[in-house]
Amino acid sequence: MGIVFSDLAVSADGFATGLNQREEAPFGDIDENWLHGWMFEAYDENRAEVDAIVASGATIMGRNMFGPVRGEWDRDWRGWWGPNPPYHGPVFVLTHFAHDPIEMEGGTTFHFVTDGIHSAMDQARAAAGDRNISIAGGPTTVNEYLAAGMIDELRLHVTPCILGAGERVFDGVPPQSLERVSVRPTSRVTHMVYRPVRP
């Protein structure tokens, strides 16, 4: 069985997204380049970390990461990523509102899970087989899985900016010990890998 991992780009003050997410601003009122520029403008320098983000057999994400639609599904929203999302496999979206699966180009299918994080994990495990499972985000979803003790490896990509507000990693997560696996600085980001220490 593979591991459950999560990758989050975070500011130096721990925020993984800003306030006021909306369609034209997926990460809210911030300069998105501050958090994610290293992935695109310095790809060669960070190739291993970028490629590892989507190297999984199944992905779980929160509804806010999937899109800005709130409440009932009253429009044909198909994600932020265009017709060919980068996941190329099953993606399980946590939501309170049922929705039929959405098949995209490249092998990505979005499935909508209305009965909680454990159900999403069970479905992801069945779909992933022996491959890893990615908890893609956003930070609220990652925090839920951390609090439930269901993440094996947390990869934080710390960027040299201060956002001051937004959604912060570790909010609502109970005290726990983390083992540092690795730290790798590059010109625009410091990659930090932790494993929660199981009691």
Interacting residues of 104 by C-beta distance below 8 A, sequence separation 6+: 78, 79, 83, 84, 85, 110
pLDDT band of 1, cuts 50, 70, 90: confident
pLDDT in tens, 90-107: 999 999 999 999 999 999
pLDDT at 139: 96
Q: Which residues pair with 134 in a beta bridge?
A: 5, 59
pLDDT in tens, 13-24: 999 999 999 999
118 three-state secondary structure: helix
Q: What is the largest CA-CA distance in the chain?
A: 45
* Helix ranges (DSSP H) in 112-166: 117-128, 139-147
pLDDT in tens, 165-191: 999 999 999 999 999 999 999 999 999
Instruction: Determine what percent of the chain is predicted with pLDDT higher than 90.
Output: 95
Distance between CA atoms of residues 52 and 22, nearest Å: 27
pLDDT band of 63, cuts 50, 70, 90: very high
pLDDT at 184: 98
Distance between CA atoms of residues 175 and 135, nearest Å: 20
Distance between CA atoms of residues 14 and 1, nearest Å: 31
pLDDT at 2: 94
pLDDT band of 198, cuts 50, 70, 90: confident
**pLDDT mean over 21-44:** 94
* Pair 12, 19: CB distance under 8 Å: no
pLDDT in tens, 110-143: 999 999 999 999 999 999 999 999 999 999 999 9
Distance between CA atoms of residues 131 and 13, nearest Å: 32
Above 90 in pLDDT, residue 108? yes
Written as one letter, the residue type at 116 is G
